[in-house]
A and B are shown apart, each in its own frame.
Chain A
Amino acid sequence: MAALETVLANYEERLGVERLLFLEADLLDQRRHREWLDLYTDDALYWIPIREGDTDPLRQVSLVYDDRRALEERVTRLESGQAYAQIPASRTRHLIGSLQVLSSGDGAWAAKGSIAVFEVRRGQKIVYAGACAWDVRDVDGELRIASKRIDLVESELPLGNLSTIL
């Protein structure tokens, strides 16, 4: 995660970061996973820890700790027609709230907020909620997500099939 030796992003910067994060939410809800993946940098990290608070991913097991290769594997799997955990696929809506965007001043931003993901699958409604932090970077003039960390309020509970992408 980027150091927060930063200041609040200005209005235009904030709009740009918001547009990226809302696009991410929308692509996930539309299950356009390949296009979603394109929003991430080549060195991206996607992390859902389990332990609340400070946790060391090298010593503590996580729910997800995906580098770019693992994210691509995840998407390829979802497209394969053999990811039974997503047959039938989940319907979801991602909500992002309480968003704060900080700027490093040199093409990098740190966004944090709350997310809720409403999922309907197998005749059940499930809600995931948590704190979410994104690192956003300007890559050749396009904003990309360099990391996403989701601290779910239910991370330490037994969970069922969490094959939808939060």
Chain B
Amino acid sequence: VSLVLLERNEPLITDDWRVSTDVYRDPFVFAAEMQTIFRESWIFVAHETEIPNPGDYKTTHVGSQPVIVNRDTDDGSVHVMFNRCRHRGTAVCQDEYGNANFFRCAYHGWTYKSDGRLAGVPFEDGYGDRLDKAEMGLVHVPRVATFHGFVFCSLREDGPSLEEHLGNAAPYLEAISRIGGGIKLTAGAQKIGYDGNWKLQIENTIDPYHFSFTHKSWLDILAVRSGERGSYLKNLTTNPDWRTLDLGNGHSAQEFGDWQKAGNSNTGSGDVLPFALIVFPSLAFVGAQLRHILPRSVARTDVFLYPLMLEDESRNANTLRDHEAFYGPAGMGAADDVEVGFDRVTAGQKASATTADWNLMSRGLEREQPLEHGMVAGHVTDELPHRAYYTAWLGHVGARDGA
């Protein structure tokens, strides 16, 4: 993989922020992402409210790796284990959610406890004394850490801690965890799938630049609802409190005013979250949702949208209705994102023989404002979040060069 990247004549991303289309299109780049980012970084897998009771489990993926996230039946701790029988590789857990005291492989009956320990092997004498059951449990991913209910794991034994990785994004994530007396992912998820690269969804997530064009029909609906032309466009272009932030480590935020100031919950659109947030590499928060981006292949992506339900139940039903109107495959906004931001981009990016086989990600490069703690502020329509993301992305994928 690293050889392929090394043999390139052109860099994947230039100093003036042209991004090679191979970043979205080349299966070797995708393989490198799986080998580096999703094996090295901290990857979101679940929120604790998805597995509240002992034995509760969720299956998901860390990059290309199928895992079980579950709660121990004895001590209630959270495990993340590869969903793979130690005998002949069978996936031992099939459902997306469930509750199980044991995982019993349907192939030859090997049975594992909720902490992964191998509890039983049928006809064990066939292995003589060569089978050390203590060593043959489901394999745990090397590191699991929880931050205010958000469960992350890392396939790497060492490296920065989760809190070090979150860095300047930590206060944002903590603030989300406290909204409405606490959030819970109990409403299920809308699932979008598209034939295109997973980073197109990342780029589309904090991108107010596209909103008034791709979603003009939605802004028109809002105008009819409120009886007046909304202030969105005006805020977007002239409100200095609306800004984007490079939070470092690939994370970014979009703010609609000082959300830390008591009483200021202005989100610009009446949503639950007072800001939008991308947590590198595959977690985001927008409107009233947790967004989990799941890369399936270089040209196939799933996106799970979990509406944020609050412990204070009073707003939850309205949150669902607001969410469904815009988001999801049939949403009056998201369907246009699938069409324009994913399908039309993927169609256009097939033009690879052009001398301009790259995307331009330089908007606002001259008006970046350095802040404390290594953060950078930008105009809300600038491609600062994209540069923040790809800087960290290069730190993983590009680090293969010469490695």
**Complex: A83 Cα to B302 Cα, angstroms:** 22
Q: What 0/1 readout, one digit per residue, does chain B (298-333) give for beta carbons within 8 Å of chain A?
A: 000011111101000000110011011100111010
Closest to A48 in B: B330
For A57, the closest partner residue in chain B by CB is: B320
Q: Is the pair A158, B335 in contact by a Cβ cutoff of 8 Å? A: no
Query: B220: CB under 8 A from chain A?
Result: yes
Give which listed residue, B193, B316, B320, contacts A158 with CB less than 8 A: B193
Q: State the CA gap A163–B338 with chains docked (Å).
A: 10
Is the CB of B214 closer than 8 A to any CB of chain A? yes
Pick the interface stretch among B34-42, B55-63, B80-88, B182-190: B182-190
A58 touching B320, Cβ below 8 Å: yes
Main secondary structure of the interface of A (DSSP, over half): loop
Please, how many angstroms separate the alpha-carbon atoms of A60 and B307 in the complex? 9
Q: Does B221 contact A (CB under 8 A)?
A: yes
Q: From A61, A65, A76, A122, name the one whose CB has the most chain B CB atoms within 10 angstroms.
A: A61
CA distance A122 to B221 in the complex (A): 26
Q: B49 within 8 Å of A by Cβ?
A: no
Q: Give the A interface residue count (CB, 8 A).
A: 32
Contact in complex: A62, B320 (CB < 8 Å): yes
State whether the Cβ of B191 lies closer than 8 Å to any Cβ in chain A.
Answer: yes
- Report B187-229 residues with CB < 8 Å from chain A CB: 187-195, 214, 216-218, 220-221, 224
Q: For window 34-70 of chain A, which residues contact chain B by CB distance below 8 Å?
A: 48, 50-51, 57-65, 70
Residues of A within 8 A of B217 (CB): 77, 80, 82-83
In whole angstroms, what is the CA distance A83 to B338 when docked?
12
A61 near B188 with CB under 8 A, answer yes
The answer to whether B246 has its CB under 8 Å from any CB of chain A is: no
**A85 touches which one: B189, B306, B324, B336 (CB < 8 A)?**
B336
User: Is B340's beta carbon under 8 Å from chain A?
Assistant: yes
| A76→B221 contact, CB < 8 A | yes
Rounded to whole Å, the gap between the CB of A158 and the closest CB of chain B is 3
Our pick among B221, B307, B340, B343 for the contact of A61 (Cβ within 8 Å) is B307
What A residues does B163 contact at CB under 8 A? none
CA distance A87 to B340 in the complex (A): 10
Q: Give every chain A residue within 8 A of B186 (Cβ-Cβ).
A: 59
Chain B residues within an 8 Å CB radius of A162? 328-330, 335
The docked-state distance in angstroms from the alpha carbon of A161 to that of B96 is 23
Contacts of A62 in B (CB 8 A): 320, 324
- The complex places the Cα of A122 from the Cα of B317 at a distance, in Å, of 35
Evaluate contact between A74 and B192: CB separation under 8 angstroms. Answer: no
**A77 in contact with B330 (CB, 8 Å):** no
User: Which residues of the other chain, A, contact B325 by a CB distance below 8 angstroms?
Assistant: 70, 73
Q: Are A61 and B330 in contact (CB under 8 A)?
A: no
Distance (whole angstroms) from the CB of A152 to the closest CB of chain B: 10
- Residue contacts A-B, CB under 8 angstroms, 9 given: A50-B188, A65-B321, A77-B220, A85-B335, A85-B336, A159-B191, A160-B343, A161-B335, A162-B328
Interface residues of B (CB under 8 A from A): 96, 186-195, 214, 216-218, 220-221, 224, 302-307, 309, 316-317, 320-321, 323-325, 328-330, 332, 335-336, 338-340, 343
Q: Given known contacts A59-B187, A63-B329, what 19 new A-B pairs fall within 8 Å (CB)?
A: A58-B316, A58-B317, A59-B186, A61-B187, A61-B320, A64-B324, A65-B324, A73-B221, A76-B221, A77-B221, A83-B335, A84-B214, A84-B339, A85-B335, A85-B339, A160-B192, A160-B193, A160-B194, A160-B329
